């Protein structure tokens, strides 16, 4: 999964279609992401020491990673991501539309360095 926490994503489907928000958490085992202010639900909580008032809380629920696209600042829209090796053998994410780097994935490895 190429989407990471703190990435800005665009929601492709659902009630929040078109929203551009930040990823809070990535649930790797389930293939889901929790996006800020997207897929909000009401959770009813009893009064406790942590929440003495009780009542209803708004919280974000996970969204399938296939329903979001990374927002590329250069293209200014949701884009697909690819992975490529650099000359020094480091792996990086890149925008498939414009080719701009979206950050490293792994450190340099001599095996993948171009000779």
Residue 75 sits in a domain whose CATH number is: 2.30.30
Tell me which residue range forms the domain holding 26: 8-44+56-112
Q: Measuring CA to CA, which residue among 63, 82, 74, 81 is closest to residue 19?
A: 63
Assigned domain for 51 exists: no
Assigned domain for 74 exists: yes
- Give the pLDDT of residue 4: 96
d(CA 21, CA 33) in angstroms, rounded, equals 12
d(CA 70, CA 74) in angstroms, rounded, equals 12
- pTM exceeds cut of 0.85: yes
Q: Quick one: CA torsion of 59, 62, 67, 70, rounded to 10 degrees?
A: 80
| Averaged pLDDT for residues 1-17 | 96
pLDDT at 108 over 90: yes
Structural domain total, the chain: 1
Q: Chain-wide mean pLDDT for the chain?
A: 96
- Give the pLDDT of residue 115: 80
∠ CA 104-105-111, rounded to 5°: 100
pLDDT at 21 over 90: yes
| Averaged pLDDT for residues 50-72 | 96
Assigned domain for 3 exists: no
Assigned domain for 36 exists: yes
């Amino acid at each position: 999964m190429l989407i990471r926490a703190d990435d800005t994503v665009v929601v492709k489907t659902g009630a929040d279609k078109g929203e551009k928000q930040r990823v809070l958490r990535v649930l790797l085992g389930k293939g889901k992401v929790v996006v800020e202010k997207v897929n909000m639900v009401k959770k009813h909580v009893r009064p406790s020491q942590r929440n003495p008032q009780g009542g209803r809380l708004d919280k974000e629920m996970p969204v399938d990673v296939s329903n979001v696209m990374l927002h590329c600042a250069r293209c200014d829209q949701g884009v697909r991501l690819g992975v490529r090796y650099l000359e020094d053998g480091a792996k990086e994410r890149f925008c498939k539309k414009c080719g701009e780097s979206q950050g490293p994935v792994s450190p340099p490895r001599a095996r993948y360095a171009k000779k």
